[in-house]
Structure 1
Amino acid sequence: MSERDLVGRLFKGIDSQDLESFLACLSDDVFFRFGNAPGVKGKMAVGDTVRAFFESIQAVQHDVIETWEQPGVVICRGQVTYTRHDASTLAVPFANILKLDGGLISEYLIYVDISGLYVSA
């Protein structure tokens, strides 16, 4: 599978809130940091973190605008739209740095400001 295919599977899993598909893109010892939250290490810890996030929103949709690939690294930027449980939305820019090892993501850094996500619209 190409790096581009892996990134496509990753965002498809996230946007469908399919935790198992998302986790299948990650190495067992992955390091994950979402915005300014503390980083977590290991697929199980990432699964717990992302599961809790999925439960806190109704939906998520990424529009990837650009992707850059270098050996072992994929960087992508775009806009992500979060739908809250009250059906209101928040759209913000994002950038992700994905370090790859053995065809899986070994480091996943998300740069996004979701400070307005849990504020009443």
Structure 2
Amino acid sequence: MITSNLRINQLSDDAYRSYLQYLEALDAKDIDAYATFLADDVSIQFGNAPAVEGKEAVVGMLAGYWQSFRSIEHDLTNIYGTDRAYVLEALNHYERHDGRKVTVRAVAFTDRGEDGLVTSIRVFGDTSPVFEE
């Protein structure tokens, strides 16, 4: 993860540290560690695709999705919002299985419950270059 390009961070120190741990698990493609951040009723939506509902379904979908590329590294540029509802603007650096590197500009809206667990994630970015032949 790259944090040196972060210009604006509106999260508290505690929420920011937790979010960095969340993103570290994502960048490591460690589905078990990532799952610890999710509420049982979490939903995730990529662009206009239908939302995936429930922790088990989200974990299953992501475990498969993360196998479709070699690596991902988040390059944080801005985090706007509150500790319970925020949006990350980032450059996501992917390495495909063929070794080609692709950068995707993306935003991710995240909502957290009172217990700090993620209840909703909405991701917007054009990942088609990651998967094109």
Same fold (TM over 0.5): yes
Q: 1:83 aligns with which of 95, 106, 119?
A: 95
Residue 107 (structure 1) aligned with residue 107 (structure 2): no
Residue matched to 1:55: 67
Structure 2 Cα separation of the partners of residues 104 and 9 of structure 1: 13
Structure 1 Cα separation of the partners of residues 83 and 100 of structure 2: 39
TM-superposed CA distance for 1:4, in Å, is: 1.2
Partner-residue secondary structure (3-state), 1:116:
helix
Q: 2:52 aligns with which of 40, 43, 46?
A: 40
Q: 2:29 aligns with which of 14, 17, 30?
A: 17
Structure 1 Cα separation of the partners of residues 61 and 47 of structure 2: 13
Unaligned 5+ segments in structure 1 are: none
TM-superposed CA distance for 1:55, in Å, is: 0.9
Partner-residue secondary structure (3-state), 2:130:
coil
Between the aligned residues of both structures, percent identity stands at 23
TM-superposed CA distance for 1:2, in Å, is: 2.5
Deviation string, structure 1 residues 14-45 (Cα, Å, up to 9, x no partner): 10110011111111100111233321011110
TM-score (norm 1): 0.92
Residue matched to 2:14: 2
TM-score (norm 2): 0.84
Structure 1 Cα separation of the partners of residues 17 and 122 of structure 2: 18
RMSD of equivalent CA atoms = 1.4
| Matching residue's letter, 2:103 | A
Deviation string, structure 1 residues 60-118 (Cα, Å, up to 9, x no partner): 11001111232520211010011110110110111111111021110111111112211
State whether residues 15 and 83 of structure 2, in contact with CA within 8 Å, keep that contact through their aligned partners in structure 1: no
* Structure 1 segments (4+ residues) deviating >4 Å: none
